[in-house]
Amino acid sequence: MQDDTAQETAIQPEQSFMGHPKGLAYIVFTEAWERFSFYGMQALLVLYMAGYLLHPGSVENVVAFAGFRTLLEGIFGTLSTQALATQIFGLYIGLIYFMPVLGGWLGDRVMGQQKAVLLGAALMAVGHFMMAFETVFLFALAALIFGAGLLKGNLAAQVGRLYEKTDQRRGTAYSLYVMSINVGAFIAPLICGTLGELYGWHYGFGAAGIGMMVGIVIYLAGRHHLPPDTLRGAHAEKPKLNPGDGRIITAILLLFIIAALFWTAQTQVWNTYPLWIRDRVDRDLLDLTVPVTWFQSLDSLAVLVLAPAIMWYWKRQRDKSAEPGDLRKIVIGCAVFSFACVWLALGEIMSEGTSIALFWPAVFHFICAIGYLYVGPIMLALVSKAAPDAVNAMMVGSYYLSLFFGGLLSGWLGRFYEQLSPATFWLMHGVIVGVAALLVFVLHKPFSHALGLEQVTPSV
């Protein structure tokens, strides 16, 4: 029964896009534009709140904000303007990555993945355009959260459904998918960030909305190349869990909890890190003062530059039968990202209280990129490969639970940026992600057994 389901939900290998099914091209370009819109807004969000929206004279215009702040401070305690900005950002990112669990379930069981993606994209477009009006700020965030919940897990799950379970191209497909994320994330701060930071916040948010509209057009153009929705009506047969699937699901969820420590540190690159760049880094370069949002572009550029080299290195290891498995890669990625946080602390220590040279954050992003490439796409490929067919899209969506908890924790930790020295603040994050590396290393054998990785060739 399980093999029949896999055959029905996978598209035959129509090799017309870099040796992959043509549908992958439409998914990749849709994701690139969706990420353009998402990261364009995200690059501005903390700076917008901390530098403008949450200050007297502006915050009073936001509908229902007084009650919202009372609720937040009832949970997290009294918050300064800056701490409030980082806490809202952390909550927003957390919910963005929690909602795909519900969205994946709706895609699996109710409306089908294609309809879920289109509805989610429409909500996100509306949310971005609403961000141009400060009075409806909270409603804009809500539209973005619900839209991302429908889109993210269902779009990512369609990548896996283009391939059979045994197709070794699956890992490479997810690497291309993650590269598309970083293409969008690279371009977005340069356009949306520059417009918002230099010419007006609302221009940046409007540009993000236009990017989402482009993504919708691309997805609609390629729908006939994508995996067909398997739920055709109320009486359609629902795939069922098989014996042993509960063990797999439990292991995946435990791995997500550990991975949340990695995402706690990674999320700070978009949360407190821009404030650190604004406050501590000498951004003068020749006759230019580098905008803060451009550092988010550098973060994505580093991934794009290093991804081909990393994939070539993995292939060379695979040819020599020396490639580490998925879990080993995650250990390496967490350890490298831990060092990236320590690198920022070293920059603070070496500066001896003066402004930080551009050299330190520039190198930081390239170290981060290595860590990210060893964790992000590998986790997605692992979950898509190991999760039972009956709940595959929901489990891929549940991958974002790691980012949910990481986002919440990063928002809470953001308050300590004002209380600790910057060096101590970044060392704290280095320890957090280092613990994740240690836990996966120690639990490697039971994870491998539970997920069936002992008999599976590592994917790239």
Q: How many CA atoms lie within 13 A of 366 on its CB side?
A: 7
Q: Give strand pairing partners of 288.
A: 285
Please choose, from the candidates 296, 290, 365, the residue with its C-alpha nearest in 3D space to the C-alpha of residue 43. 296
Which token pair is 442? 């120690």
Radius of gyration of the chain (CA): 21
Q: Assess contact for 286 and 434: CB atoms under 8 A.
A: no
Per-residue pLDDT, 96: 86
Per-residue pLDDT, 235: 54
Integer Cα distance of 45 and 412 in angstroms: 16
Integer Cα distance of 99 and 146 in angstroms: 7
User: Which stretches in the chain have pLDDT values below 70?
Assistant: 1-16, 165-166, 168, 230-239, 393, 397, 454-460
Which token pair is 337? 């990202």
Per-residue pLDDT, 454: 57
Q: Assess contact for 384 and 396: CB atoms under 8 A.
A: yes
Q: Letter for the amino acid at 126?
A: V
Integer Cα distance of 165 and 161 in angstroms: 9
DSSP secondary structure letter of residue 288 = E
Count of C-beta atoms within a 10 Å radius of residue 19: 11
Which segments of 35-186 are extended strands (E)? none
Per-residue pLDDT, 350: 94
- The residues spanned by each domain of the chain are 22-230+243-452
Integer Cα distance of 138 and 130 in angstroms: 9
Which token pair is 173? 């497909």
For 22-230+243-452, the fitting CATH number among 3.20.20.70, 3.60.150.10, 1.10.101.10, 1.20.1250.20 is 1.20.1250.20
3-state class of 419 per DSSP?
coil
Give ∠ CA 46-133-139 in degrees, rounded to 5: 75
Per-residue burial over 209-240, b = 16 or more CB atoms within 10 Å of its CB, e = otherwise:
bbbbbbbbebbeebeebbbebbbeeeeeeebe
Query: Given the DSSP bridges, would you call strands 284-285 and 20-21 parallel, antiparallel or unpaired?
Result: unpaired
Per-residue pLDDT, 243: 84
Distance of CA 436 to the CA centre of its chain: 18
Q: How long is the chain?
A: 460
CA 29 vs CA 184, 255, 285: distances in Å: 9, 29, 33
